Chain A
Amino acid sequence: DADVTQTPRNRITKTGKRIMLECSQTKGHDRMYWYRQDPGLGLQLIYYSFDVKDINKGEISDGYSVSRQAQAKFSLSLESAIPNQTALYFCATSGAGGGYNEQFFGPGTRLTVL
């Protein structure tokens, strides 16, 4: 079984709709991250959480919100989706900080906003 899972894997929605992307992990990590990837580009950090009570904005948080329901679950919401939020979304987890811990990524969610 995959250590980091994301649901849904694909989603098509309309402008103005609220949508939630979910991430679950079985690695027992405290740190979780949400990234966005536009075609042909690298990943950009949206939000990150170092534990259940600690949530921080990343580079591109406008238009997004998150919820850390438990150590294992981290959800990303688009309150009112717009077409330029069409992208691939990845969740990741890591162990404690220190710069030497790698991040483990989920398979991604492909979101299309019409």
Chain B
Amino acid sequence: DAKTTQPNSMESNEEEPVHLPCNHSTISGTDYIHWYRQLPSQGPEYVIHGLTSNVNNRMASLAIAEDRKSSTLILHRATLRDAAVYYCIGNNAGNMLTFGGGTRLMVKP
């Protein structure tokens, strides 16, 4: 399993960009890097994923280091609704997700 390391918590101001880091030094060459977030009292929801190249979607951007040992989830303008626990996960060919503790993002108005 690809183990990931994330800070326990981060704080941001509303409408400012947020960069959430993740280390995954043991990731294999074929593991995709997935990000999910879990809003209070809800199930996790998919945010974004990538393999080698940086990725953008309507929710966020994902910047993947050239050596793939780390990645950063970028929320371009944090809103109060982005306050959640963000999980960085290495997803292998079996599509098995191993959740760590994630990063709790707090957004201040």
Contact = CB atoms under 8 A, between A and B. Distances in A.
A45 B31 CA distance: 18
A71 B25 CA distance: 36
B52 interface: no
Contact of A108 (B42, B87, B95, B97): B42
Given A42-B99, A42-B100, A45-B97, A100 B51 contact: yes
What range describes how many residues of B lie at the interface?
A: 20 to 34
Main secondary structure of the interface of B (DSSP, over half): loop
Contacts of A107: 42-43
A92 B32 CA distance: 18
Contacts of B102: 42
Contacts, number: 58
Contacts of A31: 95
A40 B36 CA distance: 16
A90 B51 CA distance: 26
B93 A99 contact: yes
Contacts of A34: none
Interface in B34-90: 34, 36, 42-46, 49, 51, 87
Nearest to A96: B95
Interface string A7-18: 000000000000
